[in-house]
Structure formats: structure tokens, C-alpha cells
Amino acid sequence: MSVDVGTELPSQSFPVTRASLVRYAGASGDFNPIHWNERFAREVGLPNVIAHGMFTMAEAVRVVTDWLGDPGRLEAYSVRFTRPVPVPDDDAGTVIEVSGKVTELLDDARAKVMLTATHEGQKILGNAVAIVRLP
């Protein structure tokens, strides 16, 4: 794999439905009602039920791990949550769009990848950085 600064990773779209949130809640143990109870979410000032932050973070990094072909090559990953992802109560749900770009080559065949994750054209993760070991 030839990688240079500016190498763009293949962009991906990730559908998010209420069923996705239920499955994630079961796997993670995070049953906060803002992720499944629309009435409660609105009472606390949210526009609707929202996706778990860690779910959003995990979906976004799939762009990196799919590109690498080996999730074990991901050495570090951090994000700042900038906007929630509201998920409507219908069969379509919503979509998270993610792209990535190599912004720096580091020592020992490693690279810094910056991710851009959006929902309905608005950034949902800020300073999303992955450090990867290149093949």
C-alpha cells in the first residue's frame, strides 16, 4: 500500500435506525433513555432520540479500519463530539457520512488520518484523529 500525505480514504455512508440503537444499547449496556425514548429526549431539550456518541465514533472509524484491512493496525483514535445525531422513528432512519485523509506520515511506518463525519451536511465529530500502523 502506497500512502502519501493527502491520500484520501474511500468515503462511506452508515445508516442509523432505531433498531441500530437498540442493538448497540444491548451490546454496550448504555440504556440512557435519550437513545430510545422520544418523549424523554425532547423533555431534556434534544430534537429527538439521538445516537450514542460511542456508536457514532465507532461507525466513523470503520472508514479507517476498512481501508487498512486490519483493525489491529489502529493504534490510537480520538474525537470531540460536536453535534448529536437525531434518529427518526421510521424504517429509513438517518445516515452518517464519513471521509478520511492522511494528513501526516509519522515515524515507524505510521500515519495520522483525519476523519470528517457529517449528518445532514453538518459536522458531528470534531478533531477526529486516527493514528495507524501502515501495512
Q: Are 91 and 17 contacting, i.e. CB atoms less than 8 angstroms apart? A: yes
**Eight-class DSSP state of 29:** -
Q: How confident is the model at residue 108 (pLDDT cuts 50, 70, 90)?
A: confident
Convert the pLDDT of each residue in 7-19 to its tens digit: 999 999 999 999 9
pLDDT at 2: 86
**Eight-class DSSP state of 45:** T
pLDDT at 62: 98
pLDDT > 70 in the chain, percent: 100
Q: What is the pTM of this model?
A: 0.93
Among 80, 81, 75, 90, residue whose Cα is nearest residue 18 = 90
Angle between helices 18-28 and 53-68 (to 10 degrees): 90
Listed by start position, the domains of the chain span 8-133
Distance CA 112, CA 88 (A): 34
CATH of segment(s) 8-133: 3.10.129.10
Q: How confident is the model at residue 41 (pLDDT cuts 50, 70, 90)?
A: very high
Residue 87 has pLDDT above 90, yes or no: yes
Convert the pLDDT of each residue in 54-81 to its tens digit: 999 999 999 999 999 999 999 999 999 9
